Chain A
Amino acid sequence: MSTAPAAERRAALDAVLEALAVHGLPSAEIYAKRGRARVIEETPGGVTVSYHREEGWAARAGDDRRSLFAAATGAPSPDGPGGGGWPEADGEALVLADPGGSPGLFDEPGEGWREPPDLDAALIGEREAAGLLATLRGELSAELPRARLLRARLSDGASEWEIASRVAGTPGVAAGARGRAAIVRLEAVLEEGGKSGARPSAATLEIALRQASAVDPRALARRLADRLSVAAQGTAPDHDRAVALLAPAVGTRLLAALSPLFFGDAAGERAEALEDRDGRLASDAVTVVDDARLPGGVLDAPIDGEGSPTAPATLVAAGVRRPPLVPRSAPRRSRDGRGARRWACMRRPGWRDLPAPGPSHLYLAPSADVGVGEMLRDVARGYYLIDLDGSPRVDLAADRVSLPVVGFRIEGGAATGPLAGATVESGLGALLRRIETAARDLTFFPLAGGMVGAPTLRVGAVEIRRR
């Protein structure tokens, strides 16, 4: 993996831009990424500890008639991917992000952005990771003796990337950033039996944090135990209509499914179809923001996948949709008429991938003055839906949503029994417009190619059916 200093790395990117210009492609962008990660995975087949060092780069280049994309492992090469020359440009013209306004290269953070202090923290060690998973296993069995952690995967990684471009022969962006991310994925089962003769059940949980050392194994064990016991003992009504509290695990899945309403080409059209006659997408309790610079966020970065400076964007303000986001490189001819906003919203899942518009930290804004406890106490009769136990079905075109849920029945502000095997069925727009309150417990999950967050939401008159 390249450990060259910033000036050398910049020179390497410039050399590739120069080579592409010589190749007859005056507009070009080079993206280079390096990363390292430590992963520990425990399965019934044994324990695997892996160490990864990744290094790759990608170039987009073209002129006003044709374009190409090339990506390869290793450091950027002026001789093309793998040193085997460049593919022939083909197809349509390439449009790159507007130059200017980007942060300085690599070690100069962008204006208004402070580099997080944890970027240089050591990756989690093998023993530390094993200890964390052992604690989690112990806590889970303390919470629920018949529960068993089937598979656990903990990864802790650090990465850095740079982007440089030329647009029609003139210098474009020159920017860089670094990141940290830890992901924990757990699968657990509850064996049948016990005093209550419960059914067997299974639960999956995936979270992302900036560092593995921030993982709280006890909290994760409690969440898994809740999920397992509710799924094992819960029942569902044939059909009911009542107030429901959607926990963050439910709200985030709903919001993730809505992300096509906020990003990219056809976002505006899709969203319009869900609005009511007054042009409202949601109730006034709903404010949706995408903030690539969310302090403490897993994807906190000063630039997006094209090197444009990031900034928070309000997508829904008190229930009213704001113009969707398109990347700064979107062709003007197709965007201006629709009122979309040019924004730094390009995401790159990895160096192999073409950048595409999408969420960074997409979240439904919490209310600082509403706690989940008081929200629960205010429910005379309803449901507290703590998680999904299957894939949500969201049909934006047909304005329908179906969420397979588990949780609790609530009466007089207290849980009276577990709920499982139930589905929330609703029109999508109608559901959004029945959101009455948001609590303060904003929680993020890795979804929709980014991080998606929601607090607990109170929704009026939700239709619940037995599956």
Chain B
Amino acid sequence: MPAAAPQPHPFATLDTAAAARALSQLAPGDPDAGGEDGADDWADAFFERVEEVELPADGAAPGARLRREEGLALRLVRGGRTWLAARDEIAPEAFSDALRQVARVLPSAFYPEPRLDVAPWSAVGGTGDPAGLDRMAELPFAVARAIRARHVAFPVRLSVRRHRRHVQVVGPRWVPEPESERFFSLRADLPWGRWGTLVPEPPSDSGADPEAALAAAAEEVAEALVERFRSRHAASPEPRRDAVVVLGPQATAVFLHEAVAHALEADTLGLGGRPEAAVGVPLGGPALSVLDDPGSAPLSVRRRSDDEGVAVARRWLIRDGAVAQPLADRRWARGSEVLLPGAGRRASRHEPPGPRSSHLELLSGDGEADLVAGAEGGFLVSQVARGALDPLTGRFVLEVPCARRLRHGTPAEPVGPFRIVGTVAGLLSRVAAVGSEARSAGAGWCAKDGRLLPVWATTPALRLEGVEVVA
């Protein structure tokens, strides 16, 4: 199937210089952009365009679903207070109206109306990217074939969505490159539960074979669904406090997202005091090094700057078992000598940015450890349904929908649902070994505070010893 030519960024024609000039009337000396000495205010504009194409399961009505939205948000931060005005259109009047609103001036006050030309939406299934849509439609069939190839059959309803998001941030004195994210989300409804994952859209200009990438994704999805099927009648394990649990890469990604990323977000840390106080605190053994690096995420969701326009960095969250650099956005990093911005993410123009992870990496182990050796009676956990962290108590729960018992160094009979419970510090201190082969895994939706964000990870497997499991 021929790859479509790359489309120009929809915000390529935006008059960002004019928008920057208008913003400079609000906050002329943005300190993060090398502005005037002593300036404490900043302002920015956020332009967003989002498209979602959905193919429902089994062709249910309505058959083809398309959602398109675009809009802008203006923000002024002054003395610890933030004013934000959001609109569902990108137009000069909307911009200047929002500007007046965050400046809290009368409607009669004059602000310039910058020209805000954006590219027209392309036709869906027409000249836009027919190959991409065909690949998307193929994904459920590829999963169904992969399930059949495992000689099992069970009812499953698969729906798939294609997500495309384009953003442009503009500050009074800096304009980063526009950013784009392209990925698929897949949801499977089974009689015994729901399962979902995210798959990066194979980029048309990367030289990679998009069909091969989607076939590999279909195999992974099928593997997970078949495991759910095979364990559907399996009994939950007896509660115990000394279990050995080997988390596969997908399960490790969810574990790290909940136990490390959320725990080290500046706003989470801020609930209990100064986020900076966490730096240097031991968290996990010396084998544990975890990073957040949006710049090494899969190509089609890779970022150079965050949703505040700040350049992203390869950020060590935990280095050799100690907290190194919590996740922070501009607001939390302002005035701090320790916190660095670059992890600001927005669920939409209608939400203020917050510090969040984008792409977690767990550094691989030394290649010598056999993670299942000596784990007799332990559990091999390939998938985790969800995790939950209580930020005030550090209490942590990982919900495991199914697993395999480990016997004689190999995965044996299926095990029914159970939970891994403990505290973040307690569970991370139980990390006994890290696998040697990291791979892209565990992508999913993060819904902290009801703000939905896609998150990605590259991790090896992980062995925990002496953890508490409950049915």
Contacts and interface: CB of A to CB of B under 8 A. Distances in A.
A150 interface: yes
B110 interface: no
A50 B66 CA distance: 28
B297 to A, nearest CB: 26
Given A68-B62, A73-B71, A87-B64, A81 B350 contact: no
Contacts of A54: 86, 88, 350
A186 interface: no
Given A44-B271, A81-B121, A87-B125, A51 B86 contact: yes
Contacts of A87: 53, 64-66, 124-125
A43 interface: yes
A354 to B, nearest CB: 7
B101 interface: yes
B60 A91 contact: yes
Given A48-B82, A51-B101, A55-B88, A90 B271 contact: no
Nearest to B388: A391
Interface string B106-135: 000000000000001111111010000000
The interface size bin for chain A is 35 or more
A202 B123 CA distance: 50
A49 B81 contact: yes
A94 B124 contact: no
Interface stretch (A59-67, A237-245, A287-295): A59-67
Contacts of A83: 120-121
A448 to B, nearest CB: 15
B123 A73 contact: no
B69 interface: yes
Given A53-B88, A88-B125, A48 B352 contact: yes
Given A44-B267, A45-B270, A68 B88 contact: no
Contact of A52 (B65, B70, B271, B350): B350
A357 to B, nearest CB: 15
Interface in A76-132: 81-85, 87-95, 126
A84 B61 contact: no
Interface in B290-337: 331-332
A92 B267 contact: no
Given A44-B267, A45-B267, A89-B63, A84 B86 contact: no
A133 to B, nearest CB: 13
Contacts of A93: 61
- Among A49, A62, A89, A189, the one with the most B-chain Cβ atoms within 10 Å of its Cβ is A49
Contacts of B267: 43-45
B302 to A, nearest CB: 25
A91 B159 CA distance: 12
A84 B121 contact: yes
A53 B55 CA distance: 30
A246 interface: no
Interface in B51-81: 53, 55-56, 59-71, 80-81
B119 to A, nearest CB: 10
A161 to B, nearest CB: 14
A179 B2 CA distance: 50
Contact of A73 (B82, B89, B331, B393): B89
Contacts of A88: 64, 125
A134 interface: no
A91 B80 contact: no
A369 B321 CA distance: 63
Contacts of B141: none
B271 A67 contact: no
A200 B61 contact: no
B87 A84 contact: no
A371 interface: no
Given A82-B70, A91-B63, A51 B121 contact: no
A56 B61 CA distance: 21
Nearest to B266: A45
Contact of B124 (A47, A52, A84): A84
Contacts of A74: 88-89
B28 to A, nearest CB: 21
Contacts of B88: 1, 53-56, 73-74
B80 A90 contact: no
Given A56-B69, A83-B121, A51 B62 contact: no
B83 interface: yes
Given A54-B88, A83-B121, A46 B82 contact: yes
A67 B62 contact: yes
A69 interface: yes
- Among A70, A89, A189, the one with the most B-chain Cβ atoms within 10 Å of its Cβ is A70
Please provide the 9 A-B residue pairs with the shortest distance between their CB atoms, ordered closest to farther: A91-B63, A90-B63, A82-B121, A84-B121, A91-B59, A69-B62, A50-B84, A44-B270, A73-B88
